A = this chain, B = another copy of it.
Amino acid sequence: MTVSIKDIAKAAGVSHSTVSRALGESPLVSPDTKDRIQRLAREMGYSPDAQARSLVMGRTQTIGIVVTTITDPFIAEIVQAVESTAHDHGYSVILASSNSRRRREIAAVEMLRSKRVDAVIVTSSRVGALYQAHLDQLGAPVVLINSRSEQRGPYTFSVTVDNRHGACLATGHLIRRGHRRIAYIAGAANHSDDFDRMAGYRQALGEANIAFEPSLVVRGTGRVDCGEEALTAVMDRSDVPSAAFCYNDMTAIGLLRAARTAGVSVPRELAVVGFDDIPFAAYVSPALTTIAQPKPEMGKRAVEMALALAGGEVSDLPGFTNVVVRGRLVVRESSGERMQVEHQPASESDGGGSS
């Protein structure tokens, strides 16, 4: 039997409206009854019912976050930032993971709608047309992190990392280290992140007047288990490349592991660069050179954007529908002997609108 304001009212000999006011720090209560009621509430172990409140207020002080899997360390870091800044704004977060299954993702959105969340954040997902329809019906603003919708809806906004820029940074680094034959270990096909990173890879090659060779692009999965396949695809050829830029750190780590078992020396025989800078990138051997995404900032920006859009208490609305932040190159061991760090400030560049 949870105690309600009515119970307190009874105990205090006042009406429930007075209790509501007293608890809500309303100025229209006499100081002493306010004190008395607040003390009573504490003694009786009162806890306000958020649902009842939301029902009348029209806002739940809750945001939803849908992820593929929280098990991905990259996503975990973003979720951490999201939860943290949501908390700072008095919001709580409902977590839904889809395991990359379309049905689960739609179910998640459906569930978040029923729960009447004030906003939802979607991370690392490819948003198809079908899914988008559900998002539009949501009624709540949606902000995508590192995701792209095939068809932009009226309610979607996003914060993304500049994939092209990061890939260009990574590939350029390899080129400056003297590599000319550089493979690209791609992620899942048709993923826009992958598309943009490949574009950056090609751009860097172009700027160095190195011809792009399609056969140096090998399709991976974005998961650690594609390392072996990728390695053989890269090394079993007459003109073996001397370096590989990987779609992400997981791929790179898989490649590293495969290289170790296959006796391929990294970075001597094959230099490797990843993308993401997941926590473990620094602890694999050799430590992974990679592009660091400003994950905490991305999570923070996403919820602030979401709350602003939801008409929350965040002061100023962002003037753009798409916030793009830049990653920075973190040089470690996997790309060569000399230790050095080329620092690219993680500043952002808000592109005015996107689509």
Bound form: Cα–Cα A114–B77 in Å: 27
Inter-chain pairs besides A83-B95, A84-B97, A95-B95, 14 sampled, C-beta below 8 Å? A45-B137, A47-B110, A47-B137, A48-B114, A50-B114, A70-B80, A71-B76, A80-B97, A84-B99, A87-B96, A93-B95, A253-B283, A257-B283, A280-B284
How many residues from A make CB contacts under 8 Å with B?
50
Residues of B within 8 A of A83 (CB): 70, 95-97
Bound form: Cα–Cα A79–B285 in Å: 28
Task: Let me know if A94 is at the binding interface, CB within 8 A.
Answer: yes
Residue of A51, A52, A87 with most partner-chain B CB within 10 A: A51
Task: Let me know if A153 is at the binding interface, CB within 8 A.
Answer: no
Residues of B within 8 A of A18 (CB): none
CB-CB nearest 9 A-B residue pairs: A285-B285, A51-B51, A50-B114, A95-B95, A280-B280, A47-B113, A50-B115, A71-B80, A76-B76
Q: Is the interface of A mostly helix, strand, loop or mixed?
A: helix
Residue of A55, A70, A139 with most partner-chain B CB within 10 A: A70
CB of A255 to closest CB in B, whole Å: 11
CB of A155 to closest CB in B, whole Å: 14
Chain A window 211-225, contacts with chain B (Cβ cutoff 8 Å), 1 for yes, 0 for no: 000000000000010
Task: Let me know if A260 is at the binding interface, CB within 8 A.
Answer: yes
Task: Let me know if A269 is at the binding interface, CB within 8 A.
Answer: no
Residues of B within 8 A of A94 (CB): 62, 92-95
Bound form: Cα–Cα A54–B73 in Å: 34
Residues of B within 8 A of A51 (CB): 51, 54-55, 60, 115-116
Q: Which of B69, B92, B107 contacts A96 (CB 8 A)?
A: B92
Minimal Cβ-Cβ distance residue in B for A51: B51
Bound form: Cα–Cα A99–B137 in Å: 35
Task: Let me know if A319 is at the binding interface, CB within 8 A.
Answer: no
CB of A207 to closest CB in B, whole Å: 33
Residues of B within 8 A of A87 (CB): 96, 104, 107
Contact B92 A47, beta carbon cutoff 8 Å: no
Chain A window 240-266, contacts with chain B (Cβ cutoff 8 Å), 1 for yes, 0 for no: 000000000000010011001000000
Task: Let me know if A279 is at the binding interface, CB within 8 A.
Answer: yes
Chain A window 80-117, contacts with chain B (Cβ cutoff 8 Å), 1 for yes, 0 for no: 10011001000011111101000010010011011110
Residues of B within 8 A of A69 (CB): 80
Task: Let me know if A2 is at the binding interface, CB within 8 A.
Answer: yes
Chain A window 278-289, contacts with chain B (Cβ cutoff 8 Å), 1 for yes, 0 for no: 011001110000
CB of A103 to closest CB in B, whole Å: 11
Minimal Cβ-Cβ distance residue in B for A104: B87
Bound form: Cα–Cα A337–B43 in Å: 64
